[in-house]
A = this chain, B = another copy of it.
Amino acid sequence: MRAEIVSVGDELLKGQRVNTNAAFMAVALSGIGVPVGRIVSCPDIEEEMVSVFAESLERADIVLVTGGLGPTRDDRTRKAVQQLLHRGLEMSKDAYENLAGRMKKRGLELSASLRDQAMVIEGSHVIANTKGTAAGMIIRCGERFYDHYLVLMPGVPSEMQAMMELTVIPYFASLSSLVIRHTPVKTLGIGESTLAEMIVDIENHLPEGTTLAYLPHAAGVNLMITTLGQDEDAVDRDNRNVVDAIVERASKYIYSTSEVTLEATIGAMLLATGKSIAVAESCTGGLVASRLTDVPGSSSYFLQGFVVYSNQAKQKSLGVPKELIESFGAVSEEVARAMATGCLEKSGADYAVSTTGIAGPGGGTAEKPVGMICLAIANKRSGSVLSKTLFMQGDRERNKLRFSEAALRELWECLRNK
């Protein structure tokens, strides 16, 4: 079985939106052994859609379409499918009830344009929309298209993703005979080329059917080990062997071999040891706290954050001595250490992390350039304070992200080695 993806929307063709949906769907499909042959973005024009859908249905067993299902008039996907397959619309009771329920919850009336969202192509298998109003559809396209499948979903990423996970993937998984295993290897603090050199011999001797991809991100690189085959046990074994070999080689840099974030990994470590955390941030402006609290249940271990942008706030909220700031500057390991110990005291947490640096674009000097960060971690039990200075390169948002990643990385190291 092969798939193609069609993304409908003028905003894609104008470059106003990057097509992240297609990448999500491609990953999900390869998870059930369905390779993607083409990805096509086409405009909101009915005739164009009709011909793009027809071309893809000729070539591929499954054609996934996103976009053009919302309540406004630039949403023409259903009309194009009606024209292509010569079918009418019918009311989906399930979709209607979902709509009515969502509106009731918000105390709103069900308008005519919204009610229209429950109308689906005749003979569709309806995909429930757990995150929005427009119903999705799985449609068998009849003899003319070799009974291939057309799947219609909204373009809103959260709605499409929920539909893929809850309905589309389970639906097609049972029809596919290939097995695919993907295992991520998530690393920190090592670049793509250094990591590649470190595992060159593993990469040169991958078992047949196994591939290794480098996925660089803002603060390092992750690996994805993919194995494809007919026999589930062999696929599992081959995949696991490669992952184990990499983990053995590069364990220092690896924080996970599953799809969890660094902040969730840290959360699990804190939970397991019954320890709590507080943060004191200057240059990261609340981003470290925000990332730590992205984790469900983080209120069990995250006590408090101080975003101390001004020098006065550093003094008043954390008791950083004025003289320290005057002697060493706000961006210094000395101030970072004082912020961490002050944060520990004020919050009563077991660990405190602090950041102070220059995110840019202004504020840099020759000795303290944009991209410089000082960070510290204070440990209540041992009474020790670790501090570090690092230099990054990027624009303001990228620097903030890398700063936050550096702080979380140090925290992770500290929790791992304690």
Contacts and interface: CB of A to CB of B under 8 A. Distances in A.
Nearest to A40: B40
B15 A22 contact: yes
Interface string A257-295: 000000000000000000000010100111111101110
Interface string A299-316: 100111111111011001
A65 to B, nearest CB: 14
Given A24-B15, A38-B13, A286 B307 contact: yes
A319 interface: no
Contacts of A312: 303, 348
Given A286-B290, A303-B313, A17 B13 contact: no
A16 interface: yes
A400 interface: yes
Contacts of A360: 296
Nearest to A288: B286
B43 A41 contact: no
Nearest to A133: B193
Contacts of A398: 158
Contacts of A27: 14-16
A367 to B, nearest CB: 14
B310 A304 contact: yes
Nearest to A295: B396
B293 A304 contact: no
B303 A305 contact: no
B294 A214 contact: no
A215 B307 contact: no
A339 B335 CA distance: 27
Contacts of A102: 393
A20 interface: yes
Contact of A285 (B16, B72, B294): B294
A52 interface: yes
A36 interface: yes
Most buried by B among A193, A226, A397: A193
A185 B226 CA distance: 43
A317 B346 contact: yes
A245 interface: no
A35 B17 CA distance: 15
A391 interface: yes
B10 A213 contact: yes
12 contacts: A11-B215, A13-B35, A14-B36, A16-B23, A17-B23, A17-B215, A71-B192, A74-B211, A114-B193, A156-B216, A303-B309, A316-B346
Q: Give 7 closest A-B pairs by Cβ, nearest first.
A: A285-B293, A305-B307, A286-B289, A15-B26, A286-B286, A15-B27, A286-B290
